[in-house]
Structure 1
């Protein structure tokens, strides 16, 4: 399901193309170049994540697994409040619905549908009830955005994966908060792609896949060079591994063959 050439633009080792479904939000990929079909799942959805009529990041979503394959965004941490609500994507339910992410109750009332009908196209809040040893992990983290609206936009279920609690609160948190801050001074618009590798376990009666690995890749142009870095973590261990692009390709090739 996952291809070998996973990283867009300056992280892309082959020839990228502008995927038609990301035509409204190519700005979240370096030089507007997206990964093409390399990471395409069996039942994909390309989402330009829209909140308050603005696009904040881009997500390739796996409808079958009910989790994102990756989210792409520009790293720009800043002040703002976290959201208390998780939102869903109306246009996954019906392409004629409005494009702004919204709460389940608002969509249900507006279009006279049930949460169960919403859940036919994506994960819903009920899927994440009573998690054990798992957190609600963001692929596009709220801490990597600036301003209330951009931070709140990351609280969409199409950007959410079940992530090991110890990892989410431990090494992955250190990577998001400390390592990224250390690597990005002098960068011009650091471009990030954060992804999840499908695993063998599920939550919510096998509705939502629990990734086996979480990975992150970045590139940033400075005045003198182009810097890139890649990390990956098993989703049942509190440990992050630094990889080269070639090593990550090899890893994903092996996972795709299983």
Structure 2
């Protein structure tokens, strides 16, 4: 009887969308312009939809590829703040381990091991762990949602979860991609009332860390800028091969076409109101 009651309670919780790794982003639609998520063209075989929750608050949303152990994309509102960067304490996602754990937010792996008696091997089955990124040559832990685009200490800290990280070419991460994330985004958003961003990684043909973690072939990002009337007035994209220090800036429409070729499925990243045309150039 008790078991039946527990199942009913669990079912009602799932129905209400309280479980944070769910089958949609129904708990956190606010990170997508007009609540419109990218279409299914990006979906991997074994996806997890994560409303990234830290200290009892949502900070951004991530579609995670369980098989490749990297995020497909992270979606967020661009709200850079001048709070200093937090220490790099890397978090993992308990709900990927077992949705019945009833741990609704990201956590440090040592807490899961010491306080919840979850074995390191059990954590490793479902996702990348800090050890996967130790000693990688020429590769960094590349954020899809960067801490520099977040406003508060908690939201910056929330970006340091391995469900938001891919193995990114070090020269790109510290070079042109950083320039895009900080200088270009600041310039392009100066007349925007608010800006929605989706940043992703195209799975590559190689894996690192004993074949556990996919090394993406490309890193990409798209933005939709809203004016004073909260209507989209501009949109753009950026893409980089993940083995060289070069970023190409292009229109949202051209980025969607490029991703359609790379993924082999039609890709749309934003609500149709976001403009698809714009002059393209690279730097």
Aligned residues, how many? 240
Say if 1:257 and 1:38 are closer, same or farther in 2 by CA, change over 3 A: closer
Q: Does 1:95 align with 2:92?
A: no
Q: Where in structure 2 are the equivalents of 1:49-128 lying within 5 Å?
A: 49-80=52-83, 81-97=85-101, 98-128=103-133
Specify every segment of 5 or more residues in structure 2 that has no aligned partner in the other structure, as ranges: 1-21, 266-283
Inter-CA distance 181–46: structure 2 relative to 1 (3 Å threshold): same
Question: Distance between the aligned counterparts of 1:219 and 1:249, measured in 2?
Answer: 13
SS state at 2:131 partner: helix
Q: 4+ residue stretches of structure 1 with deviation over 4 A?
A: none
Q: In structure 1, what is the equivalent of residue 156 of structure 2?
A: 151
Alignment partners' CA distance in 2, 1:253 and 1:31: 22
Q: Which residue of 2 aligns with 1:209?
A: 214
Within 5 Å, which residues of 2 pair with 1:39-54?
39-54=42-57
* More displaced stretch, 35-44 vs 65-74: 35-44
Match of 2:147 among 138, 142, 165: 142
Using the alignment, how far apart are the partners of 1:168 and 1:138 within structure 2? Answer: 9
Once superposed, what is the RMSD of the aligned Cα atoms?
Answer: 1.6
Q: 2: distance between equivalents of 1:242 and 1:79? A: 26
Pairwise CA distance, 1:251: 2.1
Alpha-carbon separation, structure 1, partners of 2:204 and 2:245: 17
1:248 aligns with 2:255: yes
TM-score (norm 1): 0.89
Please state if 1:221 is matched with 2:234: no
User: Retained in 1: the 8 A contact 2:42–2:263?
Assistant: no
Choose from 176, 183, 191 the match for 1:178: 183
- Is residue 236 of structure 1 aligned with residue 236 of structure 2? no
**What is the CA distance between 1:244 and its match in structure 2?**
2.5
Aligned to 1:5: none
Q: CA deviation at 1:33?
A: 1.3
